[in-house]
Amino acid sequence: MIYMTFSAEAARARSSGQPLVALESTIITHGMPYPQNVAVATQVEADIRAAGATPATIAVIEGRLHVGLEPEMLQALGSTPDVAKLSRADMAACLATGGTGSTTVSATMIAAHHAGISVFATGGIGGVHRGAETSFDISADLQELAQTPVTVVSAGPKAILDIGKTLEVLETLGVPVIVRGQDMVPAFWSRRSPFAAPLRMDDADSIARAHAARKSLGIPGGQLVTNPIPTRDEIPAETLAPIIAAAQAEADERRITGKAVTPFLLDRIFEHTRGRSLRANVALVRNNAVFAAEIAQSLRRVSS
């Protein structure tokens, strides 16, 4: 038996058929430092409302699956150190044992689908890490995209990953990678990577129609939308390359493995760019939230 609790606004949106956008909580607990994390999460929710949809930030709190967090819950989650980071593998265990944890992209997709939400905004998805040929470190996010029917709006695979290998795995898994409005895949902090867009779409309606078409065909799995960071906020790939390489070398040297890898790398890059990476991260998440709100509204039109 799963106890699912909706926030007041998420419950209202559900009962009146208004479009909802899911948000993950690992970006709050493991992706940004306190107190900026809470401020950013609050801002992103406001951005979604301003763009005409209702936000639902997802987390497990004391054994309940929360779909939409009241402000005091968000504050408590964001200020608690060492919260569990939940993926497909451990969300059910956390619910079963009355635990508290933040949801990654994979766990948020499962929760969103369970709650009837089809669109989800985040920063960057997890993917194939550099050196995966020896470490086997491939995020559960990729498998999730292959099986859970949620459209995920991101700014592309994080540049700390091996973007080429991440795209190859997504292709193998049959996950559509849709680039918004340009011909190259974006790389999170930078607008461009060297990789050509597998699919390009320029507007929310096309993405919503593609989501609905997959459903009609009975194709399992979701869509990955990659939305380039706004030009004024991007960090050129050349500036980041040596910083990412140094962070990865330090992670290898200190034998950081498993769930700790992504938070470790993000934290090092934040330090080495003196906060510039964090500002870029905030800008791209906000940009994704607004686009996700547009897709959620389009989806409501195409499926009614």
CA distance 141 to 145: 6
CB distance 237 to 269 below 8 Å: no
228 contacts ligand PSU (rule: CB under 6 A): no
Q: Is the CB of residue 158 less than 8 Å from the CB of residue 247?
A: no
Asked if residue 139 binds ligand PSU (CB under 6 A), the reply is yes
- Count other C-beta atoms under 10 Å from residue 275's C-beta: 11
* Residue matched to tokens 């989501």: 211
Binding pattern to ligand PSU, positions 277-296, x when CB under 6 A? Answer: ----x---------------
The reply to whether 223 sits near ligand PSU by the rule CB under 6 A is: no
Residue 141 binds Mn ion, judged by CB under 5 A: no
Residues serving a catalytic function are 24, 158
Residue of minimal CB distance from Mn ion? 137
What is the chain's length?
Answer: 304
Q: Is 139 annotated as a binding residue?
A: yes
C-alpha distances out from residue 76 to 10, 225, 303, Å: 19, 31, 37
Q: Tell me which of 100, 262, 287, 297 binds ligand PSU, using CB under 6 A.
A: 262
According to CB under 5 A, which one of 137, 141, 144, 234 is a site residue for Mn ion?
A: 137
Longest dimension (CA), the chain: 54
Is 267 labeled as ligand-binding?
Answer: no
Q: Is 157 in the site for ligand PSU (CB under 6 A)?
A: no
Distance CA 146, CA 175 (A): 6
Binding site for ligand PSU (CB under 6 A): 24, 26-27, 30-31, 104-105, 122-124, 126, 139-141, 259, 262, 266, 281
Which residue positions form the known binding site? 85, 105, 137, 139-141
